Amino acid sequence: GESVGLHLPTLSVQEGDNSIINCAYSNSASDYFIWYKQESGKGPQFIIDIRSNMDKRQGQRVTVLLNKTVKHLSLQIAATQPGDSAVYFCAETYRGSTLGRLYFGRGTQLTVWP
Amino acid sequence: DVKVTQSSRYLVKRTGEKVFLECVQDMDHENMFWYRQDPGLGLRLIYFSYDVKMKEKGDIPEGYSVSREKKERFSLILESASTNQTSMYLCASSLAGRGTDTQYFGPGTRLTVL
């Protein structure tokens, strides 16, 4: 079956520090990855995505790195702010999967303290 | 911006009641999804639909049914609610076609079954 998981269920960082959230996957056919942010009481919100033909993609204060050799995905948040406190999910899809279907990891709770 | 709305943020029902959860998206997306989210279990796919009147079972369809009579609306039905269906229910939508797998989520409905 699909396996999109996270190394750490919780992460606490100080405001202003950089955060790194990790995700492992096991399917070598995985070709598209997404990071979502879910604040308390809200639905998941798209942050950034990356395709398997890329190693790195940057957004505003966020960078996603993809290491296909070890099947590892990470989300880096620069200068973490209190508003970044949320659960972060990685999701993937792969060649041969049902069109449109995503497979989600269980999430990492990021807590930012002053 | 994509907007996915869900009919209720909070819902309290009694065991045995028939429950309807409604989801509407305004971006003409072909694909729509229903998930439930429970602590420690992440997002689990109940049903999805890739076209009007079409539906596919997800990973946990038991006890649920769905209806998609119009493209913009996807309903989740609990035929006879049970306490183990107390959960957060999330609806999502996405465009059809490979490479457009990003799903956009609604705010969620927190259902409590007494």
From residue A42, give the alpha-carbon distance in Å to each of A33, A86, A100.
21, 10, 22
Interface contacts (A, B; CB < 8 Å): 56
Whether residue A100 and residue B104 make contact (CB cut-off 8 A), yes or no, is no
Q: Please tell me which of the candidates A44, A98, A105 has its beta carbon nearest to residue B105.
A: A44
Element (H, E) at A13: strand A10-14
Report which of residues A5 and B7 the model is more confident about.
Answer: B7
Residues of B in contact with A46 (CB under 8 A): 102-104
- Chain A contact residues (CB < 8 Å to B): 32, 34, 36, 41-46, 49, 89, 91, 93, 98-102, 104-107
Confidence band of B42 (pLDDT split at 50, 70, 90):
confident
Structure tokens, A1: 């079956």
pLDDT tens track for B53-68: 999 999 999 999 999 9
Which residues 6+ apart lie within 8 Å of B105 measured at CB? A36, A43, A44, A45, B4, B90, B91, B92
Structure tokens, B78: 């609990």
User: How far is the C-alpha of A5 from the C-alpha of A22, rounded, in Å?
Assistant: 9
- Would residue B79 be called left, alpha or beta, if left means φ above 0 and alpha means ψ between -120 and 50 degrees? alpha
Please say if the pLDDT value at position A67 is more than 60: yes
- Chain B contact residues (CB < 8 Å to A): 4, 30-31, 33, 40-43, 45, 48, 50, 56, 90, 92, 94, 96-99, 101-108
The pLDDT of B74-91, averaged and rounded, is: 97
| C-alpha closest to that of B37 among A97, A36, A93, A83 | A36
Query: Which single residue is written with the structure tokens 């305004």?
Result: B26
Confidence band of B1 (pLDDT split at 50, 70, 90):
low
User: How far is the C-alpha of A96 from the C-alpha of A69, rounded, in Å?
Assistant: 20
Q: Decide if B104 contacts B23 (C-beta within 8 A).
A: no
Query: Which single residue is written with the structure tokens 């990790």?
Result: A22
Amino acid at B51: D
**What phi and psi values does residue B57 have, to the nearest 5 degrees?**
-70, 140
Residues of A in contact with B101 (CB under 8 A): 32, 34, 93, 100-102
In this predicted structure, what is the pLDDT of residue A49? 94
Q: How many CB atoms lie within 10 A of CB B70?
A: 11
Work out the mean pLDDT of chain B and round it to a whole number.
93
Geometric angle at alpha carbon B24, from A47 and B101, rounded to 5°:
40
